[in-house]
Structure 1
Amino acid sequence: MEKKYPQTRRDKIATGQKDSWSDPTKRVEQKKRIEAKRLLKATTTDRIEPPVPFNIENARQALIDEMKKLDEQLTKFEPLVKRRDKLSSILGELNNLRGNCNDE
């Protein structure tokens, strides 16, 4: 919805805009104001703040809990790791035997 200004007001606004762009010093000032507004907008939108104050103790406890969960999951895989290591050592022995057979 566009505002309806009287013609005299529109003329005054247009004249002010023309004056600011015709005078080089006013042009520089206006560019500085525009740049300052742009920078202000950029800094406020980039800033991310948590909705509640950051509690270090809660974060620490959450990390400890997560590490415990991971440790529990790793213990399930421990027998598989041992079996793999055993198979790997057997393979190494077979490779040695094959190498010894090729030497003879």
Structure 2
Amino acid sequence: MKNLLDVEVLGTSFTIKADEDPEYLRQVVEYLSKKVDETKEAVSIKDPLKIAVLTGIVVVDELMREKHKTGAPMSAETALAMEKITNGMIDRLEQILES
């Protein structure tokens, strides 16, 4: 049975239709909304699409870091390097998207 969840993110409303538990879907959307708010606070960009793209990059970064944790151990140096690269990418994307 497909479950429906009404979503509103960055001024856009739509309905998600999925097999997952409605409570799980609500938690996913709540997490995304939190990340969107964090992104909006961290950058000077106001364009919702650009904020969504930057938020997606941040969330994918988190996912990749978690996946890496479950595999081979990561040294502190590697973790710092990954964080520096990610922050640099976000800074560059912000500059590109602002122009």
TM-score bracket for the superposition, by shorter chain length: under 0.3
In terms of fraction of residues, the more strand-rich structure is 2
> Normalising by the residue count of structure 2, what TM-score does the alignment of the two structures yield?
0.26
In terms of fraction of residues, the more helix-rich structure is 1
Answer 1 or 2: higher relative contact order, Cα 8 Å, separation at least 6.
2
